[in-house]
Amino acid sequence: MPKTRHVPTAPTETRFLASGEEVDPHRHDDHQVIYASSGVLEVVVDAGTWFTPATRAVWVPGGTTHHWRVHGSATVHLVGVPAGSRGPRGGEPSLVLVHPLFRELLIACSQTGPAVSPAERRMLAVLTDQVRPAPEPATMLPVLRDPRLRDVQAVLEADLASSPALADLGRRVGASERTLSRLFHDTVGMGFTVWRTQLRLHRASLLLAEGRTVTQAAAACGFSSPSAFITAFQAAFGRTPGSLYR
């Protein structure tokens, strides 16, 4: 397990990255907003993996150990926020809605670097005031801590195009449908169907960032049709996949 770095001040900068580049586990005393204006960003925290196209950013509270990677050629905007500022969901990492004004503020703040001058501090204050939690469903693939659920995930990931019922998955991993259903609700906080949609959206987002078409991503990830994938994607991210990945 890589050692966690402590970076007291959260960087404020713009980075241009190739697909697959990543930043190792670290934490900083400041809060930070991480946003990819192109490509797909994955931010990994203890609870799971947040994944975002250009309509969402991730708020990482100060003190939170995290690492992140990009898929597809990406431009990543990092903005450090003073620790005294309040986040969208208290002290929890969360997905942030990127509306047009917030997007321009993110880009501008990341390009000017740490807020030193009075004008830069004012702009950062406006950005912080504009932080809004993204509407549900939040796109986060949670870590599965129960070994039976991890086995379910492994079975699905081996052939995501198929759609086995929970009862069939139970027979494969040695647990009843009722037990698996209860485990998803009690330990993951969501039902199996909702979790599987998150898994499919996560994989499909990565495929789109790598240049696959909407039709190819839908088929590879088990959606019943391209239109079903478009509907699920738009519900999660507020835009159709075709409008984000042309």
On whether the CB atoms of residues 33 and 96 are closer than 8 A, the answer is: yes
Residue-number span of the structural domain to which 228 is assigned: 144-244
| 123 in the same domain as 12 | yes
State whether 123 and 170 are in the same domain: no
Host H or E run for residue 84: none
Task: Express each pLDDT in 76-88 by its tens digit.
Answer: 999 999 988 887 8
- In the chain, the N- to C-terminal Cα span, in Å, equals 37
51, part of any domain: yes
156 lies in a domain? yes
How is residue 186 annotated by DSSP?
I
Q: Which of 88, 188, 100, 101 is nearest to 134 (CA)?
A: 88
Tokens 């503020």 -> residue: 105
117 and 154 together in one domain: no
Q: What is the CATH number of the domain that holds 224?
A: 1.10.10.60
Q: What token pair was written down for 162?
A: 């198929």
* Whether residues 101 and 16 fall in one domain: yes
Whole-model pTM? Answer: 0.92
Q: Are residues 9 and 83 in the same domain?
A: yes
The tens digit of pLDDT for each residue in 184-217 reads: 999 999 999 999 999 999 999 999 999 999 999 9
Total of domains in the chain:
2
Residue 29 lies in a domain: yes
